[in-house]
C-alpha cells in the first residue's frame, strides 16, 4: 500500500521532529566536552549523489556547495574555529572531463565569493596556486584579501591540493628562504626540524586538524593533509556529502569527544 502526499508530508514532519529531538540530546551531551578546534572534511560523494537520479555531475557539485554553508553554520554553533574543506585535488584537474571540470571550477569560485560576501570567515587557499586556472586563482586571492583582517573562524579551501606536493612545496620554500639568506647547505641541514616544515605547509601557522571527516563511506585519506594528520582522529560517514545532516555532524563531534587521545603514547 502506498502513501498519499498528505501522509508523506506528515511522515516528513514527524521524522524531522525526531531528528531535532535527537540533535538536541547530542548537543546537551557536548556541553563542557573536549571539542575539536580544527575540523577537516573530505566532501566526498557529490557525483554519486547526482548519479542516483541520473542527473549530471554538476548537479551533485552544486548540492555539495550548498551543504558547505550548512556545515559551516553547524561548526559556528559549537565553536569550531578552524575548518579545512577538501574541494579539488590536483588529480581532479587532469582526470575530470572538461565539461565537469569547468562547472566544478565555477562552483568553487562561487562558494569562495559567497564566503567573502558573508564576511563570517577568514578564507585561505590550501593548495598549489600555480596549477589553478588563472580565473579561479584570482577569485580566491581576492577573497583572501577581502577576509584577511576579519576576527572570525578560518576556513581553508583545499583546491588544487596534493599532500605530497604540499610537503615538496614546503621543502622548496625552506630551501629558497635559506638561499636568500646566503646560508650554506650545512647550516640548513642543522636547522631543519618538523616545526620548520610545518610552518611552510599550506596551513602554516595553524594548528593541525583534531578531527578529519570523510563522507560517502570511503575509508582512506587519499593524500589529504599527509603531514598534518599524524595525530588526527578519523571519522568515516556513510552518507554522501549532499545528504550529510546536522545529526551526522554532531555524532562525529561526539565520537571525537568520547575518544581518549593518546598522541602516540
pLDDT of residue 50: 97
- What is the side-by-side strand order in the sheet with 38-42? 122-125, 154-161, 82-89, 38-42, 211-214, 233-236
* 27 domain-assigned: no
* 75 domain-assigned: yes
Nearest to 175 by CA among 162, 161, 191: 191
| Domain count across the chain | 1
* 28 domain-assigned: no
CA dihedral over 125, 90, 38, 191, signed as positive or negative: negative
* 98 domain-assigned: yes
Domain span at residue 106? 35-258
* 142 domain-assigned: yes
Q: What is the pTM of this model?
A: 0.91
pLDDT of residue 4: 64
Cell reading at 84: 579545512
249 contacts 67 by C-beta, under 8 angstroms: no
* 25 domain-assigned: no
* 3 domain-assigned: no
* 113 domain-assigned: yes
Domain harbouring 240, CATH code: 3.40.1180.10
pLDDT tens per residue across all 265 residues of the chain:
455 667 656 666 767 677 677 777 888 888 888 999 999 999 999 999 999 999 999 999 999 999 999 999 999 999 999 999 999 999 999 999 999 999 999 999 999 999 999 999 999 999 999 999 999 999 999 999 999 999 999 999 999 999 999 999 999 999 999 999 998 989 999 999 999 999 999 999 999 999 999 999 999 999 999 999 999 999 999 999 999 999 999 999 999 999 876 665 5
- Catalytic positions: 44, 92
Cell reading at 264: 602516540
Amino acid at each position: 500500500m502506498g502513501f498519499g502526499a498528505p501522509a508523506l508530508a506528515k511522515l516528513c514532519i514527524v521524522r524531522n521532529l525526531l531528528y531535532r529531538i535527537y540533535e538536541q540530546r547530542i548537543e546537551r551531551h557536548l556541553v563542557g566536552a573536549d571539542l575539536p578546534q580544527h575540523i577537516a572534511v573530505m566532501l566526498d560523494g557529490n557525483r554519486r549523489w547526482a548519479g542516483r537520479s541520473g542527473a549530471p555531475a554538476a548537479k551533485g557539485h552544486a548540492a555539495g556547495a550548498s551543504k558547505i554553508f550548512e556545515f559551516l553554520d553547524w561548526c559556528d554553533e559549537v565553536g569550531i574555529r578552524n575548518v579545512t574543506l577538501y574541494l579539488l585535488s590536483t588529480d581532479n584537474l587532469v582526470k575530470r572531463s572538461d565539461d565537469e571540470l569547468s562547472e566544478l571550477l565555477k562552483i568553487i569560485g562561487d562558494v569562495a565569493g559567497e564566503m567573502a560576501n558573508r564576511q563570517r570567515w577568514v578564507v585561505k587557499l590550501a593548495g598549489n596556486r600555480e596549477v589553478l586556472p588563472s580565473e579561479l586563482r584570482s577569485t580566491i586571492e581576492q577573497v583572501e584579501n577581502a577576509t584577511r583582517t576579519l576576527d572570525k573562524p578560518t576556513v581553508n579551501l583545499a583546491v588544487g591540493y596534493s599532500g605530497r606536493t604540499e610537503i615538496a612545496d614546503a621543502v622548496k620554500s625552506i630551501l629558497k628562504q635559506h638561499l636568500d639568506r646566503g646560508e650554506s647547505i650545512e647550516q640548513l641541514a642543522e636547522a631543519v626540524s618538523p616545526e620548520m616544515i610545518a610552518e611552510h605547509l599550506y596551513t602554516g601557522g595553524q594548528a593541525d586538524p583534531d578531527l578529519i571527516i570523510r563522507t560517502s563511506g570511503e575509508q582512506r585519506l587519499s593524500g589529504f593533509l599527509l603531514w598534518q594528520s599524524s595525530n588526527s582522529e578519523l571519522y568515516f560517514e556513510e552518507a554522501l556529502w549532499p545528504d550529510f545532516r546536522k545529526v551526522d555532524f554532531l555524532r562525529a563531534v561526539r565520537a571525537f569527544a568520547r575518544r581518549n587521545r593518546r598522541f602516540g603514547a
